[in-house]
Every structure is written in structure tokens, then in C-alpha cells.
Amino acid sequence: MDTPWDLLESAALTLARSGSIKDRLTAAYRNHLAQLDAEDFPEPLRPLLRGCQHALTREQPLRGEDAVRATVRKMSTEEAEQVACTVMRLFTAMARESVRAGQDAAALPAARPKIVKAVPQVISLYAADGSRTPSRA
């Protein structure tokens, strides 16, 4: 089971990927944000999460679509960007609340080694094509 931290991190990473903001926002909600329960959050962050979830499900869907697709379809690009910013604010606020509550910073999702594992793969790609890597002086 994913923790609220894991789900928020995944939503933030989904928003950071390429593609239209509306598609990324839809994917972030469907795959991650919809699974969040406000009761799992510190009290000051609950209204922010509820507001974000409501902002993404407020429209009545047409046949063959869900409330998220209907809502995002009716949003302007600027509105979609504002909701995406709210998700990022929620993620950073959760980090600040966790630090205030005394959680070890090493336990935060951003400190996981899975991101570091990708670095040698990138370097090996350059080595495989015969490119010279810049030398450090």
C-alpha cells in the first residue's frame, strides 16, 4: 500500500513529465491523488487536499467519461496550471509538516536512492556510443 508521501511524490513526478498539462493533471489525479484520504494528512493540510480533489471532480461527466475528464476538459490551460501548482504546494507543505513533526529528513521520498540509480545508466549510454565525456580539472 502506498503512503500519502508515495502518492504525493508520484503525483508530483507525473506533473513534471512531458505532455499537455491537462493530460498530466488527469493522470496525476486518477493514478495518485484520488487514492489520498484527507484524514491521513495533518489538520492544516486537509482543506488544501479536499479543495484540490474537488477542483478536479466538480463537473458532471458526459457519456463515456468520468468526472475528472469532464472537469479537466472544461478547464482553461491556466486553470489546469493553477491546480497543478496546488498539488505541488501540497507536496511541499507535507514535507514541511513532516519536518516540523520531527520526522527524519532521510525518510522523505526525495531521499530515496531510486533516482540515483538512473545516473550510471545515463553515463553508460555516453560511453557506449564512443562520446568523450568532459574531463574534470
Q: Which candidate, 43, 39, 33, 35, places its Cα nearest to that of 91? A: 33
Q: Which candidate, 41, 29, 44, 45, places its Cα nearest to that of 5? A: 41
The pLDDT assigned to 96 comes to 85
Instruction: Tell me the C-alpha distance between 26 and 14, whole Å.
Output: 10
The pLDDT assigned to 125 comes to 47
- Domain boundaries defined on the chain: 4-103
pLDDT of 106-120, one tens digit each? 555 544 444 444 444
pLDDT digits (tens), the chain, 137 positions: 688 888 999 999 999 999 999 999 999 999 999 999 999 998 889 999 999 999 999 999 999 999 999 999 999 999 999 999 999 999 998 888 877 777 554 555 544 444 444 444 444 444 555 555 555 55
Quick one: 64 exposed, middle or buried, by C-beta within 10 A (0-12, 13-18, 19+)?
Answer: exposed
Q: Which candidate, 114, 134, 117, 137, places its Cα nearest to that of 13? A: 114
